[in-house]
Amino acid sequence: MYGDTTRRDALIGMGAAAGLAMLPGAATLAQGAGDRKLGYAIVGLGSYATRQIMPAFAQCRNARIAALVSGTPEKLARYGAEYGVPATHHYNYQTFERLADNRDVDIVYVVLPVAMHAEYSIRASKAGKHVMCEKPMAVSSAECQSMIDAAKAAGKKLMIGYRSRFQPHNVAAIDLCRKQVVGPTRMIRTAHGFSIQPDQWRLDRKMSGGGSMMDIGIYSLQAARYLSGEEPVEVMATESTDRRDPRFATVEDRVDFTLRFPSGVLASCISSYSSPHNEARVIGTDGYIELDPATPYQGQRLRVRVKGETTEPAIDTSGPSQFAAQLDHLAQCILTNRTPLVPGEEGLRDIRIIEAVYRSMNEGRRVALA
Ligand code: NAD
């Protein structure tokens, strides 16, 4: 029985070990990569780049900041000074192609509004650089495919910034699901949302490609896919948007969508720009595995309830942050010539499903996924 000490200790032990060490191939990648640090050029010095990504390089073993790209000279001067990046390694959107001649730059990290992802990822591939691109990958599946094609043509790698795949609680939850510690999965419920501030590019469809579904609902979609370990075959979606709210003149607010997986598992997912949510629960025949909060920048919690007893497995968070681990992962994949855990094809899969979500909610019908 689950309350039995041996079983609980085994589970807690498993949780404790379930940090990055358990990421498929992570240990091998890190060993094979040695201590060489590859240089990243950061493109777009906005909120996410400057507050989460750039500070994380301090924890990296195989990655460093080598260059900065921005349209604002003051930002180049300020962050150049802060991170020790000399003026010779500062670029703007017009001089971007000169990155090709900078041997200190191995990887270009695109941290721009979504509508700019394809253009700058493709320009980076053509400049002979590997690419890390933020989520959502692009505004359409056609753009995603062009990004994949450009990276292939250049013989360079392309990875999408799905940081939660490198976050120890999420990695542990995936492992617990695969081990069926709460029995075979029957359903998944996941919700992601926040109340969005007005007047920003996320609320301009031309820049964002869509509303909450593209920006935050994609976390519900990702969680449903990585926790189930399956690819959905059908989607049903409903929208609720107050079009009198000026924030939602061009993009949707709330989307409730259900994904049907081949095993029969159904995932009920919420995406919202008007209410706070951040959770994922996998319900099996004997209990549930819960991430709440699931995917914030920090402070994740994992609980397991089996046969009426709840435990909170100890997760080792002493290693690099999810941001640092993500940055190191691409560098290590390049140094050891492996395919990243979340390559361009993974970003494309999500955008294809999001397009089906939009079709379903606009046409009021179920949409089959190929
Ligand atoms: P932001 O608005 O803070 O930064 C965007 C940057 O792009 C700014 O520096 C801005 O000056 C620059 N920019 C260049 N051309 C622009 C234009 N025409 N319009 C607007 N900005 C322009 O946004 P952010 O929150 O840093 O998001 C940037 C990217 O990072 C997006 O793709 C977003 O989805 C992603 N993001 C990911 C996470 C995550 O947890 N993985 C979190 C936040 C943002």
User: What separation in Å is there between the alpha carbon of 139 and the centre of ligand 1?
Assistant: 14
pLDDT at 29: 76
Does 218 sit in the ligand 1 pocket, CB within 6 Å?
A: no
Tell whether the model's pLDDT for residue 12 goes beyond 90.
no
pLDDT in tens, 113-122: 999 999 999 9
Please tell me the total number of residues recorded for the chain in this structure.
370
The DSSP element (H or E) to which 169 belongs, if any, is: helix 168-178
What is the identity of the amino acid at 139? V
Does 202 sit in the ligand 1 pocket, CB within 6 Å?
A: no
Is 206 assigned a catalytic role? no
> Catalytic: which of 40, 79, 91, 219?
219
Q: List the domain boundaries for the chain.
A: 4-16+164-316+344-368, 19-163
- pTM comes to 0.95
Does 44 sit in the ligand 1 pocket, CB within 6 Å?
A: yes
pLDDT in tens, 240-286: 999 999 999 999 999 999 999 999 999 999 999 999 999 999 999 99
Name the CATH superfamily, with its identifier, for domain 4-16+164-316+344-368.
Answer: Dihydrodipicolinate Reductase; domain 2 (3.30.360.10)
**Among the atoms of ligand 1, which is closest to the Cα of residue 136?**
34
Tell whether the model's pLDDT for residue 204 goes beyond 50.
yes
Other beta carbons less than 10 A from residue 149's beta carbon: 14
| Predicted confidence band of residue 25 (pLDDT cuts 50, 70, 90) | low
Does 135 sit in the ligand 1 pocket, CB within 6 Å?
A: yes
pLDDT in tens, 33-55: 899 999 999 999 999 999 999 99
Does 347 sit in the ligand 1 pocket, CB within 6 Å?
A: no
pLDDT in tens, 175-189: 999 999 999 999 999
Other beta carbons less than 10 A from residue 91's beta carbon: 19
Q: Tell which CATH classification among 3.40.640.10, 3.40.50.720, 1.10.10.10, 3.90.1720.10 matches the domain 19-163.
A: 3.40.50.720
Question: Residues 19, 26: contact at Cβ < 8 Å?
Answer: no
> Catalytic: which of 37, 135, 156, 157?
135
Does 48 sit in the ligand 1 pocket, CB within 6 Å?
A: yes
| 99-121: average pLDDT | 99
Is 91 assigned a catalytic role? no
pLDDT at 20: 46
User: Residue 177: CA atoms inside 13 Å, Cβ hemisphere, count?
Assistant: 27
CA distance 278 to 297: 11
| CB proximity list for 114: less than 8 A, separation 6 or greater | 134, 136, 138, 139, 207, 208, 209, 214
Describe the crossing of helices 168-178 and 5-17 by its angle, rounded to 10 degrees: 130
Tell whether the model's pLDDT for residue 160 goes beyond 60.
yes
**Among the atoms of ligand 1, which is closest to the Cα of residue 200?**
2
Domains 4-16+164-316+344-368 and 19-163 share a fold: no
Structure tokens at 347: 């970003």
Tell whether the model's pLDDT for residue 22 goes beyond 70.
no
CA distance 342 to 345: 8
Distance of CA 225 to the CA centre of its chain: 12
SS3 53: helix
pLDDT at 30: 79
CA distance 293 to 10: 24
